[in-house]
A = this chain, B = another copy of it.
Amino acid sequence: MSKIKVGVAGYGTIGQRLADGVAMQGDMELVGIADLAPTLSLQALREKDMIGANGVEYKVYLVDGANKDAFKAKDIPVAGTFEELCKNVDVMLDSSPGGVGAKNKENYYEKYGVKAIFQGGEKNSVADVFFHGYANYEEGLGQDYLKLTSCNTTGLIRTVDCLDREFGVGKVAITIIRRVADPGDYHRGLTNALQMDKAPSHQAVDLMTIMPHVEATGILVHTPVTHGHIITVLASGKDGKKITKEEALAAFQKHPRIRVVRIDEGFSGNASFFKYGRDLGNRRGDIYEIGLWEDSLVESGNDIMYAIHIPQESVTIPETIDAVRALMGVQKTREEGTAETNKYLGIGNFKK
């Protein structure tokens, strides 16, 4: 069977990792990546002779408005235009800045019959389905356009969907302790302040779009750190049914994309996961799984409360790869689709 041909639009924080994720799939081919300027990330790629993850060469295409001379000045080889890339792919993973994806769809994807997967920055209306690999894989089957949940929502839904399938969930109330910037960002920092967002947080609203039978609300607070969000979740069983600490723990431990950890093992906070990913020797130090602290699990009456860690740079990659599988219809069920993604990304190996 021929490989699925995939392109990546936008080689930023998410785009780089999508390219890496595709390069690691045995049944996909990374045709190319597209960007506007010779950023540090592209300079780093050139320093490595354009070889990215898994020994794959990343070919660079230029989006409209890009200055070819600027790429030349940095010795970055250019393979063609974004339009040319569109002609040669089955699916485009669009991680352009918010709003650009919608224009790409209008200008190119519809024209060339390219399926596309958009990230959280686009409006929901750009896509046929707002997608999560574990929660609604089957709704994405055979569609043309999917939109992925954002980083916090992706990780959050892993746990809520996990509880929901085991026990039934009626309601969740979340507190998002959000990192304000990624490592290397200088333009959106916060210094010695916790900043409030108007409630309810969009992540709670998004959860309800994906899981309409659950009532969700929440509060988001920005914090001056870069290594991952922490979310506390209070989940209530459907119709008030009790979920015990032991039951929840057992369910979480079975999920391939949830790492259950303990403070006394050394996982003291969000920075521990960042360090652990680097110590694993993973490319960019990335981890695809979310963390869940066993020692945060407490019962509140019939409800269950717990805290999770969201590695914001990499957490959406597996679900985006799931989305490619759903769009192309190669795997017909969530079990098969996510298992294939997990296999190629090495997810779940920590369980052994």
Q: Which residues of A contact B (CB under 8 A)?
A: 16, 39-41, 43-45, 47-48, 52-53, 170-171, 173, 175, 177, 180-181, 183-186, 189-196, 198-200, 215, 217-219, 221-228, 230, 232, 234, 236, 263, 265-272, 274-276, 278-281, 283-285, 293, 295-301, 303, 305-307, 349-350
Inter-chain contact A268/B196, CB cutoff 8 Å: yes
Q: Answer whether A173 and B278 are a contact pair too, CB < 8 Å, given A193-B270, A230-B221, A271-B185.
A: no
Residues in chain B near residue A268, CB distance under 8 A:
186, 193, 195-196
In the docked arrangement, what's the CA distance between A186 and B224, Å?
A: 10
Interface on chain A toward B: helix, strand, loop, or mixed SS?
mixed
Contacts of A296 in B (CB 8 A): 196, 198-199, 219
Determine the distance from Cα of A45 to Cα of B196 in the docked complex, in whole angstroms: 24
Q: How many of these chains are in the complex?
A: 4
- B175, B193, B226: which contacts A175 (Cβ < 8 A)? B175
The 8 closest A-B pairs by CB, nearest first: A184-B275, A44-B279, A189-B191, A189-B189, A40-B266, A193-B271, A175-B175, A195-B269
Question: Complex Cα distance A193/B265, Å?
Answer: 17
The answer to whether A171 touches B223, judged by C-beta atoms less than 8 angstroms apart, is no
A265 surroundings in chain B (CB, below 8 A):
40, 43
A269 proximity list for chain B (CB < 8 A) = 186, 193-196, 221-222
